[in-house]
Amino acid sequence: MSGDRVFMMGKFAAPIPDDRRYARNHMWALAIGGERTRFGFTAYAVRLLRDVYFLEWSIDEDTSLVEKQPIGAIESKKAESDLFAPAPGVLRTFNEELLRDPSAINTDTHGEGWLFEMTIERADEAASLMSADRYLEHLASVWEVTQRTIKGQWND
């Protein structure tokens, strides 16, 4: 993707596409037409999770959400974690393919590995989501703590 930013995680380059916005919970957001926004995990998140193999949702489609509301869970080689709404809005649809086989999260995180679509008020989106540059600043500010948390992971 032309013009993408990159965050270096040790030797691993995590691309940060310029055509998206970013949530603090390491999800990307891409406007896909109308009022819909598609969300997925950033390359940074996928690298930390390593080999996602299970995904489940605890809410239904067309559910109104507040930011940070629990929406599901994920399991991977490195972690089990709850998933939270990246912004306020209405969850419209899930990527059903991922429920059958979540491997696209690992192999095509910015494409077929998308998680869900929401409708978000533009004012809420602007308040909740960061530009690629702001997300890079956020990653740089948390990277030292993250490295201590995952000590030894790079040698797997």
Delimit the domains of the chain by residue range: 19-131
pLDDT of the residue at 150: 58
Report pLDDT for 129. 93
pLDDT tens column, 41-83: 999 999 888 889 999 999 999 999 999 999 999 999 888 899 9
Contacts of 118 (CB under 8 A, 6+ apart): 36, 37, 39, 65, 85, 87, 89, 90, 91, 92
Domain 19-131 of CATH type 1.10.3720.10? no
26 three-class SS = coil
The pLDDT value given to residue 127: 78
Q: Are 30 and 16 in contact (CB under 8 A)?
A: no
Question: Which residues pair with residue 90 across a beta bridge?
Answer: 64, 119
For 81-129, write each residue's pLDDT tens digit. Answer: 999 999 999 999 999 999 899 999 999 999 999 999 999 987 767 778 9
pLDDT the model gives residue 2: 52
- Is the pLDDT at 156 greater than 50? The verdict is no
Structure confidence at residue 119 (pLDDT): 94
Query: With bands split at pLDDT 50, 70 and 90, how would you rate the model's confidence at 153?
Result: very low
pLDDT at position 107, please? 94
| pLDDT value, residue 94 | 97
Q: Which long-range contacts (CB under 8 A, 24 or more apart) does 52-58 make?
A: 52/76, 52/102, 52/103, 52/105, 52/106, 53/77, 53/102, 53/103, 54/102, 55/98, 55/99, 55/102, 55/105, 55/115, 56/99, 57/94, 57/99, 57/116
Q: Answer whether 46's CB lies under 8 Å from 105's CB.
A: yes
How high is the pLDDT of residue 151? 56
pLDDT of residue 33: 82
